Structure formats: structure tokens, C-alpha cells
A and B are shown apart, each in its own frame.
Chain A
């Protein structure tokens, strides 16, 4: 049996050069028996581009950080069947452990199947759960499907963690002619990309999960609201829907049953607030994406004021597995409060960044240090940001917190959609809080005064603190504003916008004090507060820094220590980058 080569082509893989590697392999394999294919994203983003070598459906070797120049060599080794010649490209044991330490359910097919091929999905078990549900004999009623999801304990993976079965049941119970099933793929949380990975790598699993949900609530129409920033995901989803329709999984009388369901894909137009379900519905209806007052909840009056159910991509990606394996199997994983697994997008100052799926109940330390390999460049861990603009920063002292909706909520952060941005000692927490307020102030839809003006005022205060112009009492003023916004905002965006500020004040108050009272940024990150100095002991007087300085702030004669005039210095850091003797320090 000859070897099959699969090149990982998610958006990150392609950005890292997987397309060029594929082209080079295609050219090198002309006339050979070795087949070449595409798979989605395996989630080991720091090793992209990744090329997998299979024989009889068994992975023989995983090659990492492959360059187009390696193609000839790979082609030759595969043609001769002697893979030992590629040992230098093979993944290290340490890196491979990144995957073996995970438990993959939502991501079970990502990086293993061809996202452009229905056969590939079906071979991996795709649509078996749908067949089980719709079987003429011993099929499942909608109530049985909802009971199975209830038993599994699956909760909304978009961030709120609301029990999925409850929403489905409410939509099922609601009286209404037309019902709609909606998938929220408007993954706007900066730092999260698991939904993109699922759509790009395994679109049929999403479609199958949505079909089962549509059957359960009694919807004949399903809509996917995808961010316009994900062109590849939109393209693959459209292609997968066309294949599913042709094969009879989508459309009228699915698999010969009485159940019919049509799909539509709508591209979002760039507004973070549209991740909020009622704002998303407004946007689907072609309006400004401003949240509605709840109640009525979408289950009673959603899209076109008909009963609607909205879940996010990761939630749907779990559904077919639960139907296949039973609710109890899913509920067997996790903690009493949070069942199953959760996907995290591990990024920032981490050594091994990518997608991590683990059972609930593991600790943050397990994810960041055991799987992610800790901080890169030998620096110290400072905090991990979870939940994006609605979440918070968790400090090193709480690294043993377990991953569970309640336990994470107790820290002031949230589970969120799964973004985990890791920060080291060089990240300034005040600047981080400002970063999120810049974001929410920009993304506030403007409907509620507290959110619209409150976030603006907070942004102003945080800006002046990072510029060394903070006033005594600013921290207390921030806290007061935070509480007012929490109380006064209508939707989740506004109610949670203060979280990043509240958690940084709670855990890193000393950094705020240093900025305000000493005009000092302990992380050395706030530009306006940087003090560049030259250590005379290390300075060789090479004059390079003086030549680089754009404002002539550095003086000194050749072979004698130089000095920086801080009144002239614009804190651009070019001198420090240029110095070969590490003589320039920043504080």
C-alpha cells in the first residue's frame, strides 16, 4: 500500500506557507503513485506547515515546519517507502505530547479528514448520529433527542454556559408556525479561533449537529451567521452544504424521513455586539445589530419574532458525538457543575500555542504548562486572560483553579468562548485593561447610556494612567464606573465590559499605584513612562545608538560611555534595539 500525504490547510497553516508546500509537493509527485490531499487544522499552530504521512489510514509520520524546499526530499522518501530519511523533519516527542494529552470531541476530526470531501467525513463517522435519529425503526423522537442532550449536561460553549437542552426544549415548546435554528459563528472574541477551526476543518460535523438540533426544536430552516473575516470558513461551509444537499442530508425529506431542513449562510459585517443573540437576530434581519430587551427570549420570539434557538459552533460540534455515544458518556467527563470537554485557543507568550481540548476539571496549570509548555523565551508567567473583553486576567497565584464554569467565574474571569491569552512579565496589566476598554468603547452599539458613555470615561481614565497622568482616586472612580455599567447595561457586552478592569484592579492593584503615584510602569511597557538609560559599565562608546537616535537625544564621544537626555528622548527604543553590548536599559 502506497503512502498518502496530507497537508494541513487551515487559515493559519496557509498563512504559514502550507499552500506553497502543497504546490511544491504536487509538482514533485507528478507521475508517482503517492496520493496527495488536504486536511484541516490539527491545532498545533506553532509547528505549521504540517505534513502528515499515512499508510492504510494509519499515521506513519508527522512532519513539521515543512518548507517548499523539502518537497523533493519528501516525495522521494514516500515513493521509495523509506521514511527514515525524513527523521529530521519529524515532530519531536515533546511536541507530539501536545495532542496525546488532549481529549478531543468537538475537534475529533479536525486535521484528520479532508474538509472538502463528504466521503472523508462519512468515513470518519459523519452523519451516523443523524441516521440514528431519523431511522425508520428505533429512531429518536425530538423529545428523546432533548432528553439525551439533557443527560449529557452540555452547556452553551459560546460563553454563557446556559444548558443547551433547556434552550432547545423552550424553542420546541413555543407555539409558532415557523421555527428557526441559528448557529452563531460570529467569533468576535479577540484571541479565540476554535469556531473558525471547526468550520474550516470539519464543516459536516457542524451541519450534522445543526440538523439534529433543528429536528429537536421543530425547525425547517437553519441559518449560519459567520464572520466576514473568515473567508475560507465561508467557502468550505458553502461547499459542504452543497455536498450534503446532493447526498440527501440537507433539504426535503432528509434520509427518506418526514424531516426537512434548508440551510442559509449569512456573512456578518463586523460588529462584536452581534455575538449577543438578540443583536445577531437584528443583524440577520438586515438591521443595525443592536440588542433587544429580554424577555421575550429568542426561544419565544426570535428571528422574525418566531421561536428560534441559537447555539455556537462548538456546542453544535459536540451534538453528534453525544447522540452516537449517549449522554452519559459525555457527562462522565468533567466536574459536577460542568460536563464534557472544552476547547481553548492558547495564544500569547506561550511556547506551544494552538487548540487544546480537555475535559472540564483540569487546572489552568495543566493547560498552560503541561500542554502549552509554559512561557516562551524563559520569562515568567504573569497572568492568563480568559473570556476576552467580557472576561478577566487570572494571576499566577490562581493557576491551580480548575476549568469549570463556577470556579472560573469565582476568579472574576469567565469560561468565555475559550480564548486563553497568556502574558509574561513584560505585559503591563494597566495597558491590558486599557486595551480591552478601547475595544468595548469602540464596539459598544450605543443603545445604553451607561455602556456608551461609561466605557468612554473609563477609557479616558485608563489612557491618562498609562501616560503617567493618573490622579489620586482614579482607581476608585474606575471601580464606581464599573459597577454602574454592570447595573445599567442591557446586554452581555455592556454588563461584562468592566470585567477586564475589575480583575486587573483586584489582582494587580500595585501596578495601578505604581503608574499613578510613581509615574512608573513596572513591566516597562507603557511608552510614555519608559526611562532609557545607558549603563556606563557596559557601554563601549561605539556611537551606534547615537547614530540611530532620530532626535539626537544621545551624546558622548567615541570609546567613552554615552548618555541619554530624557527630556529630548521620544522613547522609540531604536537605541536599545541597535546596541550590541546590552548597555541600554529600560525601566
Chain B
């Protein structure tokens, strides 16, 4: 933990129960990383160092595993994570237009978060709901048969709900 680049100060105590359960179980690194991401919303660098120290591994190995898998994020995400499917069926049925609509409407690039911190946008591999293509997931909810208009309406609803709170 003496690396200069680790400047974050995450609450590492939140990870204690996870490490207690899994640190000594061989082959549990991905499970630990998944639960850490559940807790912090992403994988802060100090958490990665902490996991390495607690599992008797090196930060390089932990970061190497984390960066291999698309599920892991290294930046905080917005309150709503939009995952637009880019599987074959969605591609054939026009997911590109949906991506354009989202990017234009929210002014957000793939992999980025909106300035207000409300939405993060990510184009992902197949979500397995091909018969409803094009499909997106916002947090754990799936939306199918998207059109540029229906996507805008879904996003507007969320914005309205948030503004009302």
C-alpha cells in the first residue's frame, strides 16, 4: 500500500465479511471481486491493493484478473447503468440506431457517465433475450423491442422520476 497512485480512501471494513468468507478459499478471487464491486459500485484501486494483501496475492495479479473480464469497472458508475445489447440478433434488428439515440439524447459516449451522474452507458455482448431484439438492460430490468422513440420515452420516465424525488 505504499504506491503513490493509490489515493482513494474507500471504507475497507465493508469488505471484511467477504474476505472472511472467501480469502482462504482457493480460486475465489473473481467471487471476491464481484462482491467488492457490489459494495463499492466499482473497483477502487485501494480495494484492489487490499484484496491482494488479504489473499496473499500481488496487486498485479488481482488487477490482471479484474481487467480481463468485462464485468469489472474501475470508475464509479451512474445511478442507472444502461447496458445495450450488441448481440447478433440485436445488431441485425438495428441496435446501432438505438445506440445513436441514447448517445445523442443523453450526450454520453459508450463507457462513460452523464455529467449529472445519473446514467452510465455501456454497449455489451449478448444479453440472451434475442427474441426481443433490440434489447437493453437498465440496472436489472430488461427492455425489449426498442425503437428510437421508445428508448427516449424510457429514459424520460427515469429522468422524470428522479426529478420528482
Contacts and interface: CB of A to CB of B under 8 A. Distances in A.
Contact of B70 (A187, A271, A347): A271
A15 B130 contact: no
B89 A354 contact: no
Contact of B69 (A187, A196, A269): A269
A353 B88 contact: no
Nearest to A223: B27
A48 B140 CA distance: 19
Contact of B125 (A345, A354, A439, A445): A439
Given A230-B128, A349-B93, A423-B92, A271 B69 contact: yes
Bin chain A's interface residue count: 35 or more
A332 interface: no
Given A269-B30, A269-B72, A188 B125 contact: yes
Contacts of A269: 30, 33-34, 69-72
B127 interface: yes
B42 to A, nearest CB: 14
A195 to B, nearest CB: 8
A283 B142 CA distance: 27
Interface in A333-353: 345-349, 353
Interface residues of B, number: 39
A347 B65 contact: no
A70 interface: no
Interface in A429-459: 432, 435-436, 439, 443, 445
A421 B69 contact: no
Contact of A287 (B65, B124, B135, B144): B65
B131 to A, nearest CB: 3
B65 A286 contact: yes
A192 B129 CA distance: 9
A402 to B, nearest CB: 23
Nearest to B70: A270
B133 interface: yes
Nearest to B135: A15
A348 B128 contact: no
Interface in A25-49: 45-46, 48
A359 interface: no
A196 B128 contact: yes
Contacts of A16: 132, 144-145
Nearest to B91: A435
Given A14-B142, A188-B125, A270-B71, A288 B131 contact: no
Interface in A344-394: 345-349, 353-354, 385, 388
A267 interface: yes
Interface string B19-30: 000000011111
Contacts of B72: 269
Contacts of B129: 11-12, 15, 193
A191 B126 contact: yes
Contact of B131 (A46, A188, A283): A46
A348 B88 contact: yes
Contacts of A15: 129, 132, 135, 141-144
Interface string A540-577: 00000000000000000000000000000000000000
Interface in A210-236: 227-231
Interface in A15-71: 15-16, 45-46, 48
B44 interface: no
A470 interface: no
A444 to B, nearest CB: 12
Nearest to B29: A286
Contacts of A421: 88-89, 92, 130
B76 to A, nearest CB: 19
B126 A189 contact: yes
A419 B88 contact: yes
Nearest to A346: B131
A460 interface: no
A540 to B, nearest CB: 25
B69 A286 contact: no
Nearest to B28: A286
A364 to B, nearest CB: 17
Interface of A: 11-12, 14-16, 45-46, 48, 187-193, 196, 227-231, 266-272, 283-289, 304, 345-349, 353-354, 385, 388, 419, 421, 423, 427, 432, 435-436, 439, 443, 445
19 contacts: A12-B129, A14-B142, A15-B141, A45-B131, A191-B126, A192-B130, A227-B128, A229-B124, A230-B128, A267-B30, A267-B31, A269-B70, A271-B70, A286-B26, A286-B31, A289-B69, A304-B26, A421-B89, A445-B68
User: 3 shortest A-B CB distances, which residue pairs?
Assistant: A45-B131, A190-B87, A269-B69
Interface of B: 26-31, 33-34, 64-65, 68-72, 86-89, 91-93, 124-133, 135, 140-145
